[in-house]
Amino acid sequence: MAKKVTKIGVMTSGGDSPGMNACIRAVVRTGIYHKLEVFGITRGYSGLIDNDIHKMESRSVANIIQRGGTILKTARCKEFLTPEGRKKAYNNLKKLGIDGLVIIGGDGSFKGAQVFSNEFNIPCIGIPGTIDKDIAGTDFTIGFDTAVNTAIEAIDKIRDTADAHDRLFIVEVMGRDSGYIALHSGIGTGAEHILIPERKTDIEAIITSLQEKEKRKKLVNIVIVAEGDDYGGGTDLANLIKERIPNFDIRVAILGHIQRGGSPTSIDRLIASRMGYSAVECLIEGKTNLMVGIMNNKMHFTPLDKAVKAKQKISDEWLKIVKILAT
């Protein structure tokens, strides 16, 4: 029979994403509702090692649901990759009597949680907090919807100025290994071309298409490119197109980290709240080494080892939609 959890820790790890605060709030208040002591761990695994851990009350998470970023801060921690670092982290938890962890983060955060849980028998529950939506086992990740809406708002404004000057704009969005932000924001703004890491870019087809549009005097074009595309992102792509079609007036807009910030959308607030609540329920029920997700509007639980091995894949249907709607 699983040991009863009495004290839990919550942390945010890896890249920040809008909605993390809403999730922290849900974990803290659900834990307190069930008479658990809840501790906030600052700066992720670095805070575990440095003992940067503090008790949280219901008022600790008042007025944060609408805020971007994370009140617990976040960091990447090389020391936690070592057995010595993890041992130090465990000793800090042991001193405080913390016997369960909720980790809000992405792929790397879950890998760390799985190793840590296996080594020291600490129940860990993962919550997918990443703007990239690249984790299998959930239809949503916290922050993705906000990031896409931020990109769409920016691209809509860029199209206005592109139209005024008859320009080709290449807009680079985040996504080193995942093209979901590019895909969704590109479809949502009617982009003429969308370049993503999951699909090899047919540069000749893009050049031919743009040349054909030039003949038709369609000089306003928006190309969305994920930063991890095989042609090196927005600037490199613009230079290549300029060489081949010198008459085009080309500008590059790199949206960068504005996609990480801002007040979370209603969708991100709701899924973060559901996931945070469900994570605490899992710990109380004695479950461990699981990622909490949502699939088909129902809570879905994936073993952490499967969540870190499998990537969310872009279906052929999405790619077909892009091809048809961009013609």
Q: Is 132 a catalytic residue?
A: yes
Name the token pair of 256. 């960068």
Cα–Cα distance measured from residue 46 to residue 42, given in angstroms and rounded to the nearest whole number: 8
Residues 38, 11: Cα–Cα separation, whole Å: 11
| 314-322 CB contacts, 8 Å cutoff, 24+ apart | 314/179, 314/180, 314/183, 314/196, 314/198, 314/199, 318/183, 319/199, 321/187, 322/183, 322/186, 322/187, 322/194
CA separation for the pair 324, 327 (Å, rounded)? 6
Element holding 91 (H helix, E strand): helix 83-96
**Residues facing residue 12 across a β-bridge:** 104
Strands lying side by side in the sheet with 193-195? 193-195, 221-226, 168-173, 250-254
Tokens read off for 155 = 């691209």
Selecting among 16, 99, 107, 132, the annotated active-site residue is: 132
Q: Which are the contacts of 202, defined by CB distance < 8 A and separation ≥ 6?
A: none
As annotated, the active-site residues are: 132
